[in-house]
Amino acid sequence: MNRIIFTGLFGLASFAAYAAPVVPESVIKDIDAGYGQRALTQLRPLVQQYPRDREVQYRYGSALVAGNKLDEAQTAMKAAIETDPNASELHRVLGEAYGAAAERASVFGMYSLAKAALAEFQTAVKLNPNDPDAHADLAAYYIEAPGVVGGSLDKAHEEEALLDKLAPLQALQTRASEAQQKKDWAGAERLLRQAIAIDKKPDSLTQLAMMQLRAEHGSDALATFKTITTRADAPASSWFYLARSVGVAHAAPADGIAALKHYIELPERPDMAPNLGWAHLRLGELYAQNNQKDLAAAEIELARKQPPADDSRFSSALDKAVALLK
């Protein structure tokens, strides 16, 4: 964000008092990598010191969403928008908070949250037609939302066409997401491989691996995750999903066991990554499949002590893992 600082007016002695804050690059990297909670420790003091600064508020909202603090994100972004109603990025982050909350809401709550997300994304695009992230969010909404709350593939295609000019990489990723929604796995892979060719980050490669896993192409997913985990910038969750692909591929469990051990031993994991309860549970399953029942029982007991919050699937998966020990 460009800022004009009137140093001549106040003099160097007063510069620190009037200079706009600079959000540390480490905070931005943490948010992008999904470490929202860690980013918040540095952002909260900035928010208190600079309550009207657009960049600080934008990064604060993004960190709250990354940290799964969705109610707090909604409250913070609504307040920020009241002081800066034309800040497109604030509307976009508020839309992301609404959208994430809609995915977790009851049927009745989902509709109002989804419509609120759509309104914020549309506002963001209107305020800044050149923001590719706003167009990508709006396109994703049109692709994933049911028609009753404004989903529309025709409108998604309009956003994709705009992304072709603004951000070709995001255009390819968005079209790949649409293909996956249609279960056009071959089309999605073709688009993602085009994206991988121009993507310096592991994002497109990770999307390909997750798509292969979703399509139950276990051997392909395993090979792709192995490629990802050789990178210095590999996402932490890659090791967890490498192990999941071992199960889908019905491959020898040794690779999955090693990957889960690595995942569990990491000093920290992104806020939205699978928690340690899931990791110990999956490791127990692999030990059981490898006929290492004692090790399996120990891991399943550790999983029982670290259940994820509000996850109804975990209890069922735990029962199935226990059954493997019999």
Query: Is the pLDDT reported for residue 163 higher than 50?
Result: yes
Closest by CA to 217, choosing from 242, 189, 257, 245, is: 245
Range from 64-68, 256-260, 297-301, 311-315 carrying the lowest mean pLDDT: 311-315
Q: Average the pLDDT over 253-273 and give the result.
A: 96
Q: How many Cβ atoms from other residues are within 10 Å of residue 254's Cβ?
A: 11
Q: Average the pLDDT over 102-128 and give the result.
A: 94
pLDDT of residue 5: 29
20 pLDDT band, cuts 50/70/90, is: low
pLDDT of residue 107: 81
140, 177 in Cβ contact below 8 A? Answer: yes
pLDDT of residue 150: 96
Q: Average the pLDDT over 114-123 and give the result.
A: 98
Query: Is the pLDDT reported for residue 2 higher than 90?
Result: no
Contacts of 302 (CB under 8 A, 6+ apart): 276, 280, 284
Please give the Cα distance from 254 to 159 (Å, whole number). Answer: 44
Please give the Cα distance from 254 to 35 (Å, whole number). Answer: 29
Q: Average the pLDDT over 123-146 and give the result.
A: 97
13 pLDDT band, cuts 50/70/90, is: very low
pLDDT of residue 312: 81
Q: Name which residue leads in pLDDT, 7 or 38.
A: 38
- The percentage of the chain sitting over the pLDDT mark of 90, rounded to a whole number, equals 87
pLDDT of residue 16: 35
189 pLDDT band, cuts 50/70/90, is: very high
Range from 137-151, 159-173, 251-265, 299-313 carrying the lowest mean pLDDT: 299-313
Q: Average the pLDDT over 248-267 and give the result.
A: 95
Alpha helices in the chain (DSSP H): 7-10, 15-18, 25-33, 36-49, 54-66, 70-83, 88-104, 107-127, 132-144, 153-166, 168-181, 185-198, 203-214, 218-228, 237-249, 254-265, 276-289, 293-305, 312-323
pLDDT digits (tens, 9 = 90+) for 72-90: 999 999 999 999 999 999 9
Query: Is the pLDDT reported for residue 310 higher than 90?
Result: no
11 pLDDT band, cuts 50/70/90, is: very low
